[in-house]
Amino acid sequence: MAFSLALANLEAAVLDACAREDEWPAQVAAGIYAGVDYAITHPEVAETLASDDAPASDILHRYESVIGRLSGFLRVKAPTDERLPGATDEALVAGIVGIVGDHLRIGRLDRLEELRPELVLLTLLPYLGFSEAKRWADLSAG
């Protein structure tokens, strides 16, 4: 139950942030910032994802749920005609979830906040190329 509520609240934060932007790269950037900020202020999201009390099958299901739901947001936002070969939404989101989770576990919240523009760059790179992804990352940081 705690996991479902944490995931729903995370999704709401991401969707609310996306809704405030007009262009899809700005929506993705806003969603990343909101998701990271939510994780920083609600570290129980990471705790409920990988709770030691849960069976391994539950942890895997929780992980796949998070990746599936968040990559769905990216899939809807990023135009398919702008994707480079080999880019997968799930791999990008899994990378972000891993980075965020690692920083939460070791208590590097300050560094996690600083990483938000880099996560935007990482996410937009396969769709926009380096120069344009960097521009959006810089805009989101400003």
pLDDT tens, residue by residue, 76-105: 888 777 665 555 788 889 999 889 988 988
32 contacts 123 by C-beta, under 8 angstroms? yes
123 contacts 99 by C-beta, under 8 angstroms? no
Total domains, the chain: 1
Query: Residue 15: what pLDDT?
Result: 92
Rounded to two decimals, the pTM is: 0.86
Query: Residue 73: what pLDDT?
Result: 83
Q: Which structural domain range is residue 83 located in? A: 2-141
97 contacts 124 by C-beta, under 8 angstroms? no
pLDDT < 50 regions, the chain: none
Query: Residue 123: what pLDDT?
Result: 92
